[in-house]
């Protein structure tokens, strides 16, 4: 099973070399994926799968496109 991963802004350093065809296993959640990539939980703010906002317990499916976003400050 393979997914595509995009890590944005300060999370871009966690983008794996095989981000367009990243191997994952059935039942793996977004939270488990983030842990496997080495992303500290405090740094991960928003997650999208196929353009829809999801929580960290969302399960991944073959062909999913995952976007990982950090908290962004401004003001």
Question: Could you tell me the pLDDT band of residue 73, with boundaries at 50, 70 and 90?
Answer: low
CA gap 29, 35 in Å, rounded: 10
Domains of the chain (ranges plus CATH)?
A: 2-70 (3.10.20.30)
pLDDT at 65 over 80: yes
- For tokens 């995952």, name the residue: 66
Percent of the chain with pLDDT over 70: 96
> DSSP string spanning 6-55?
EE-GGGGGG--TTGGGEE--TT-BHHHHHHHHT--GGGEEEEEETTEEE-
Q: Which residue has better confidence, 70 or 73?
A: 70
pLDDT digits (tens, 9 = 90+) for 2-29: 999 999 999 999 999 999 999 999 999 9
CA gap 51, 40 in Å, rounded: 23
């Amino acid at each position: 099973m393979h997914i595509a991963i995009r890590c944005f802004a300060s999370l871009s350093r966690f983008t794996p070399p095989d981000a367009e065809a990243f191997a994952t296993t059935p039942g793996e959640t977004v939270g488990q994926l983030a842990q496997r990539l080495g992303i500290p939980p405090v740094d991960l703010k928003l997650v999208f799968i196929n353009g829809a906002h999801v929580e960290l317990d969302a399960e991944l499916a073959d062909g999913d496109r995952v976007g990982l976003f950090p908290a962004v400050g401004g003001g």
